[in-house]
Chains A and B, each alone.
Chain A
Amino acid sequence: MCMVNEIDYGTPASKSDRMVTLTIDGKVVTVPEGTSIMRAAREAGIEVPKLCANDMMKAYGSCRLCLIEIEGRNGTPASCTTPVAEGIKVATQTDRLGSIRRGVMELYMSDHPADCPACAEGDCDMVEMAAKVGLTENRYGPNGENHVAPLLHGDTNPHFREQDLSNPYFAYDPAKCIVCSLCVRACGEVQGTFALTVEGRGFESRIAASMDDPFLESECVSCGACVQACPTGALREKTVIEKGMPEWSAVTTCAYCGVGCTFKAEMRGEEVVRMVPYKEGQANRGHSCVKGRFAWGYATHKDRILNPMIREKITDPWQEVSWDEAFAYIAKEFRRLQYQYGKGSVGGITSSRCTNEETYLVQKLVRQGFGNNNVDTCARVCHSPTGYGLRMTYGTSAGTQDFDSVEHTDVVLVIGANPTDAHPVFGSRMKKRLREGARLIVIDPRRIDLVRTPHVQADYHLPLRPGTNVAMLTALAHVIVEEGLVDEQFVRERCDWDAFQDWAEFVLQPEHSPEAVEKYTGVPAEQVRAAARLYATGGNAAIYYGLGVTEHSQGSTAVMAIANLAMATGNIGRPGVGVNPLRGQNNVQGSCDMGSFPHELPGYRHIADDATRAVYESLWGVKLDNEPGLRIPNMLDAAVDGSFKGLYVQGEDILQSDPNTKHVAAGLAAMECVVVHDLFLNETANYAHVFLPGSTFLEKDGTFTNAERRINRVRKVMEPKNKYADWEVTQKMAQALGLDWNYQHPSEIMDEIAKTTPTFAGVSFDLLDRVGSVQWPCNEKAPLGTPVMHMDGFVRGKGRFIRTAYVPTDEKVGPRFPLLLTTGRILSQYNVGAQTRRTANMTWHEEDRLEIHPNDAEDRGIRDGDYVKLASRSGETSLRARITDRVAPGVVYTTFHHPDTQANVVTTEYSDWATNCPEYKVTAVQVSPSNGPTEWQRDYNDQAKRSRRIVHAEPAE
């Protein structure tokens, strides 16, 4: 095992096609025009000393260590800020340079702690650079003016500052800081938050967060970019300070959101010391957010359940059992249920948190082992409409671009997504492009951060009423057709012309005009027209959308409306454009790809297709059911009706994450064998009969597929604390049920996927280890994958326009429930919070709050921070209010990260017409002052506490 070391070239790569040849220290070097001399030298294997340069940030030229000489030019320019030129002769090492560097370094070292622990551990470049430039003495001594010593000549040192330990994850020690401003630049250029600055001048200058606040109280979002950039020990991860420097590392993929950032897991033995974003990661390009970078402590949290448990009734306490007993119990129960209630009485739920290989095995277990298609996944409640809508219009269920595409985008249209909170690393990449001048349209009921953030201002924010996306999107189409902004050449060549004409006639109807729909959307027509013109004519236009589009009763219709817009304006099939669903979970794309839906086999092939079934029938040696199975809500209905009795849930908490909690609870309570396979005793486990401990992403090999269809490797860096990786658990369960499964390693599962799924035909662990990652389709036609889809034609042949009539949701406000509730996420927490609530991320968000407009709050006598009751016709809950004008009057908003809040007690059973994706984003509610938790919350907590009792087994085995 060794450290994965990345070369720092000092300045970013140039994208120029024109090459320049020069000589550095006698070596002939050819690099793209615009490359810095520092980078050109490094590419040739010559390391110029440096402190303030880093290839993630633009050159700055402040540390004066990287000076060079160029034959025929005066002076000693900085190699980081000096671009290469044809034919120049550069010397990086001369007596003159050596003497200047020693002088500079001597000054630095005179103000650097002699006993710097980071230097000693190799986490601070100062001592290393001093050695590199040949500095052996310090003539100035430590007694002059400095930032290091608390006392100076027996008095308080005015330049000394105590460490800032306010951030839970990193420490800032000003004594070690050389004010090179790499952190300031990382915060601005990479993260785009601009929380850091250099305050003061000359010897007074120092790094300050916001208005010289402690980091935690500043605007800092704790992404870690500054810590990563810091060349000294001034900014360090607390885990490194506590545990020491890592000894070995492996490249792996974050298990939080759909961005799928690549990280180096840096280890000591089997303990993670830190997670550092990997520059070669093609999704994140070396950046990270507070979750992936720091919030991995849940992996070893004491709440993790490590032994299997069973109980006959959910009112009993849990009994710890051996793995074999647990598997035998499940096999016996599932066989009994199928014998007693029929083959279709059991099913499984795959997880978007688990790997592709694990997901594939769960659906295989259901199809091959249970003999039915009752398998579904949490994508049901998030992006199932994306799958349906994009398949109907384009022919395949996936986003069209890679993340790099945003670098070529001129107009960004964000609808129903909040990238800076929910997909923060991509949000940063988007902000970078916006700062470079791309225009921005935001369609969202709430003023998300992106609407106005440092150096970014949306050209148009259309704050529509929740539930009116389709009206808005069709109105945009109306303007594009009416004002002749259609890219007719594209449409004629690439799309079904008859379908286009039918659609154009439809959207032109006067009831779809912005003026007509204003009464639903609440957005002034002129704003809508202007936004439509910008989208259609502003150059490369790309649509980014999230659950604010899909989680509606018209979610699938809205996805089709988005697809129509992109086709009509020719914004499909090249870099910079496209339709980009921002996926929620790390592997929601993958879980859908792997055949987790009850109607389709891996690769989105319908279960009724005989040829596809035949592929699996011959391989698996069974006859497959050709009828679609039950979706999650249908399973729950069938359970309440008595025909569905057993469920295997891998890595999903349907009780907390699915709508209408009472209905979910009733469904689960009606089942006779619920098997929950998870890290923690989650909310669903309150209704489980068998609990199988799960493993974390650090404990297994496999792959995740992110929002850009990118298949990334997950690498095991420690043994599973619960003994088995999740794929092994499913395999052992299958074996207990009599299936002949013998996978020795997840790579063999991927081989089976590749063998049976045309879009994955070229994928193997070998390939991924070689090239890092690929985006499917990856096969003979595209051996290294497909960054941009539909380049030479749509997957379905001709793109298909589909009419998208606006149908108001049945969830309507009225006198009893006059406000509309919509839901979302916050940066520091993640979904149901099972992971992030078990980390120091709680520091930023310890409870869910209800955002309410000042007018609505005043009408109800609610003050900021008051407990309020939130009631809908489904149920009621209570939480504290936050008064803000980010939401419009009539709209309230909350997150759903905490089980105590139980936001889904309030959400209704309405769902998307095509996919049953729940309508989380619109619920009619009333808000009133309250004294504390509701009766339901109290009852629920009692039940949860009772159902989590564990009787520990005698130490055996």
Chain B
Amino acid sequence: MSHDEGQTTDERLVYMANQIATFFESQSPQAAAHGVADHINNFWEPRMRKRFFELAESGLFKLKPIVMEALPEIRRPKETTEA
């Protein structure tokens, strides 16, 4: 990062995923996980999802349980879609 203090892109992706999960938390657990996955599928560009999978699978970041439950439903970007 060439500027100070703010989040890195990785931190921001994690933050955004958790923020989405927070909205769906008030719904039933099943609907919540589905809602998170659906939202990320609809609005996240492939390179964001690709990096997000790497972050989620690295275990280094604290993702909310609903996000982890949503993971299988999130579309993995096709390898051909280059970043």
Residue from A556, A634, A670 within 8 A of B45 (CB atoms): A634
B45 → A minimal CB distance (Å)? 5
B7 touches A909 (CB 8 A): yes
A560 → B minimal CB distance (Å)? 10
Residues in A whose Cβ lies below 8 Å from that of B45: 344, 373-374, 598, 627-631, 634
**At the interface, yes or no: B82 with Cβ under 8 Å from chain A?**
yes
**At the interface, yes or no: A792 with Cβ under 8 Å from chain B?**
no
Number of interface residues of A (CB under 8 A): 44
A913 touches B20 (CB 8 A): yes
Residues in A whose Cβ lies below 8 Å from that of B1: 640, 666
B73 → A minimal CB distance (Å)? 14
**At the interface, yes or no: B42 with Cβ under 8 Å from chain A?**
yes
**At the interface, yes or no: B69 with Cβ under 8 Å from chain A?**
no
A338 → B minimal CB distance (Å)? 10
B42 touches A599 (CB 8 A): yes
Q: How far is the CA of A553 from the CA of B18 in the complex (A)?
A: 12
Q: Which of A427-435, A477-485, A657-665 contacts B (4 or more CB under 8 A)?
A: A657-665
Interface string of B16-47 (1 = CB under 8 A from A): 10011011011100000000000101111111
Residues in A whose Cβ lies below 8 Å from that of B3: 662-663, 665-666
Interface string of A54-67 (1 = CB under 8 A from B): 00000000000000
B46 touches A627 (CB 8 A): yes
A343 touches B9 (CB 8 A): no
A421 → B minimal CB distance (Å)? 31
Residues in A whose Cβ lies below 8 Å from that of B27: 803
Minimal Cβ-Cβ distance residue in B for A606? B42
Q: How far is the CA of A629 from the CA of B46 in the complex (A)?
A: 8
Q: How far is the CA of A419 from the CA of B63 in the complex (A)?
A: 41
B6 touches A599 (CB 8 A): no
Residues in B whose Cβ lies below 8 Å from that of A641: 9
A506 touches B26 (CB 8 A): yes
Q: How far is the CA of A811 from the CA of B26 in the complex (A)?
A: 21
Q: How far is the CA of A874 from the CA of B7 in the complex (A)?
A: 11
**At the interface, yes or no: B5 with Cβ under 8 Å from chain A?**
yes
Residues in B whose Cβ lies below 8 Å from that of A216: none
Interface string of A895-937 (1 = CB under 8 A from B): 0000000000000010001111000000000000000000000
B52 → A minimal CB distance (Å)? 12
A662 touches B22 (CB 8 A): no
Interface string of B44-83 (1 = CB under 8 A from A): 1111100000000000000000000000000001000111
B6 touches A662 (CB 8 A): yes
B23 touches A913 (CB 8 A): yes
B81 → A minimal CB distance (Å)? 6
Interface string of A328-363 (1 = CB under 8 A from B): 000000000000001110000000000000000000
**At the interface, yes or no: A845 with Cβ under 8 Å from chain B?**
no
Interface string of A167-187 (1 = CB under 8 A from B): 000000000000000000000
B44 touches A628 (CB 8 A): yes
Residues in A whose Cβ lies below 8 Å from that of B2: 640, 666, 669-670
Q: How far is the CA of A643 from the CA of B48 in the complex (A)?
A: 11
B12 touches A909 (CB 8 A): yes
Minimal Cβ-Cβ distance residue in A for B28? A502
Minimal Cβ-Cβ distance residue in A for B77? A627
**At the interface, yes or no: A873 with Cβ under 8 Å from chain B?**
yes
- Central interface residue in A628, A638, A666, by most chain B CB within 10 Å: A628
Interface string of A630-668 (1 = CB under 8 A from B): 110010011011010000000000000000101101100
Given known A-B contacts A663-B6, A666-B2, A805 and B83 have beta carbons under 8 A apart: no
Minimal Cβ-Cβ distance residue in A for B2? A666
Residues in B whose Cβ lies below 8 Å from that of A554: 23
B58 → A minimal CB distance (Å)? 16
B42 touches A628 (CB 8 A): yes
Q: How far is the CA of A556 from the CA of B43 in the complex (A)?
A: 14
Q: How far is the CA of A669 from the CA of B46 in the complex (A)?
A: 24
Residues in A whose Cβ lies below 8 Å from that of B12: 637, 909
B82 touches A913 (CB 8 A): no
Residue from A374, A608, A909 within 8 A of B6 (CB atoms): A909
Q: Which residues of B contact A (CB under 8 A)?
A: 1-7, 9, 12, 16, 19-20, 22-23, 25-27, 39, 41-48, 77, 81-83
Q: Which residues of A contact B (CB under 8 A)?
A: 342-344, 373-374, 506, 553-554, 556-557, 598-599, 606, 608, 625, 627-631, 634, 637-638, 640-641, 643, 660, 662-663, 665-666, 669-670, 803-805, 807, 873-874, 909, 913-916
Apart from A506-B26, A638-B9, list 15 A-B contacts with CB within 8 A.
A344-B45, A344-B47, A344-B83, A599-B42, A599-B43, A628-B44, A640-B9, A641-B9, A660-B6, A665-B3, A803-B27, A805-B23, A807-B23, A909-B6, A914-B20
Closest 7 CB pairs of A and B: A805-B26, A913-B19, A637-B9, A342-B82, A666-B3, A803-B26, A662-B3
